[in-house]
Structure 1
């Protein structure tokens, strides 16, 4: 986490805390040491953020502190709310928590007259039931960010299982399912894998032997070619 993001997170932790909170608790939530929290809080105080601290008690953000207002229109707010609701109902717990934190941050810096758009939005997303998965979405996203291979046992439409090693590129979210776009070492090509059809899976420490930006660009070109072939088939070919 970048330091600027961490400073913002500390303010949000203090804002939502009902009482003094220790540097150890803040550090545990952010995944940093107490010493780092001490330095960050000192930096915030130097910037004029009214934080009071007492040894053995913890830190408190003085009432009345407000971040600069974020200028959003009602439509923009409801677009964010709709996206957050979608993630809450269709994303894994890690993304759902991140969505809740995002809403709290935006609500804190939005103009007062628009805050009811967060509390009482005019849009909503219907809940769904997602199928059980062997490998969680958070692990897949982590493998993509770290550029790591995934080994899995995958069942096709007929139920036949094969063991694959894939290079994950993108995790796609549908209403009730998730799909991994990846390079498949077995098939030597780009393939899609429905997560509910994965019978076994493990993220490997083996690194993907390609730069992710180049691999993704190659995948996008391959998908564009496939779409063009499909469209040509529907229209009878480009020359007709």
Structure 2
């Protein structure tokens, strides 16, 4: 492994660790000497990486530190561009705009050769299907972030209408539908709703639901017997 690649890998290890990690642990993972780790950390700190800690105690990336985009590999950039292009095509206007701004920030900081690769990236996203009303999606994302109850009318696949009060937990973006995962007070269980079948949606501004969204999601994963996604 070249030193430049080792430095990038070292940054990733520090960024991913939630607790201080010792130089010996880092050396074992990178298959180098502890002395090499000390030199690498000093080099990264000189280049502006906000690494906290000291020898014998452990090292940790400072909270809020963002890796410069120039540290991305070509394949990582391809994945990032493809993901951002998908969001700009499939998400509501507010989230699509944020994705475009994010991609612009990455592009502005890249060296010329990598910027050219991003500009002429060959991975494209097809035309977007109309998954749901944009206003409803924006309201749902706001309710999710604030952990607020929502109320709406729902029409199922058979055309039956019902009024629901639910605790929103997640939005699932599928190719032909946008699904809301929620705890339903009416059914006293987890339910999945197609967002394009919601209408008269109201966010209850003063009604936080009593169970934390993360707890509800863990319970939902257990009930569905599916593994949790990777933490990113």
Report TM bin, short chain: 0.5 to 0.7
TM-score (norm 2): 0.64
CA shift for structure 1 position 200: 1.9
Alignment correspondent of 1:92: 92
Instruction: Name the CA distance, whole Å, in 2 between partners of 1:153 and 1:135.
Output: 15
Unaligned runs of 5+ in 1: 1-66, 226-240
Structure 1 residues 134 and 153: CA distance shift in structure 2, 3 A: farther
Q: CA offsets per residue over residues 38-79 of structure 1, 9 Å max, x none?
A: xxxxxxxxxxxxxxxxxxxxxxxxxxxxx9662111111111
SS of 1:115's partner is helix
CA shift for structure 1 position 216: 1.6
SS of 1:75's partner is helix
Instruction: Name the CA distance, whole Å, in 2 between partners of 1:75 and 1:69.
Output: 13
Structure 1 residues 180 and 69: CA distance shift in structure 2, 3 A: closer
> Does residue 231 of structure 2 align to residue 219 of structure 1?
no
Structure 1's consecutive aligned runs of 4 or more residues displaced over 3 angstroms after TM superposition are none
Q: Does the 8 A contact of 1:81 with 1:118 survive in 2? A: yes
CA shift for structure 1 position 136: 2.2
Structure 1 residues 175 and 160: CA distance shift in structure 2, 3 A: same
CA shift for structure 1 position 148: 0.1
Q: Does the 8 A contact of 1:78 with 1:123 survive in 2? A: yes
Q: Does the 8 A contact of 1:69 with 1:111 survive in 2? A: no
Q: Does the 8 A contact of 1:135 with 1:201 survive in 2? A: no
Instruction: Name the CA distance, whole Å, in 1 between partners of 2:122 and 2:224.
Output: 37
Matching of residues 146-157 of structure 1 within 5 Å: 146-157=146-157
Instruction: Name the CA distance, whole Å, in 2 between partners of 1:90 and 1:202.
Output: 23
Instruction: Name the CA distance, whole Å, in 2 between partners of 1:69 and 1:217.
Output: 32
Instruction: Name the CA distance, whole Å, in 2 between partners of 1:76 and 1:102.
Output: 15
Instruction: Name the CA distance, whole Å, in 1 between partners of 2:69 and 2:80.
Output: 16
Q: Does the 8 A contact of 1:72 with 1:110 survive in 2? A: no
SS of 1:136's partner is helix
Q: Does the 8 A contact of 2:69 with 2:106 survive in 1? A: no
CA shift for structure 1 position 131: 4.2
Structure 1 residues 156 and 68: CA distance shift in structure 2, 3 A: closer
The number of residues matched between the two structures is 159
Alignment correspondent of 1:207: 208
TM-score (norm 1): 0.62
SS of 2:219's partner is helix
Q: What is the root-mean-square deviation of aligned Cα atoms in Å?
A: 1.8
Instruction: Name the CA distance, whole Å, in 1 between partners of 2:113 and 2:131.
Output: 40
* 181-190 or 114-123: bigger deviation: 114-123
Q: Does the 8 A contact of 2:92 with 2:134 survive in 1? A: no
> Does residue 82 of structure 2 align to residue 77 of structure 1?
no
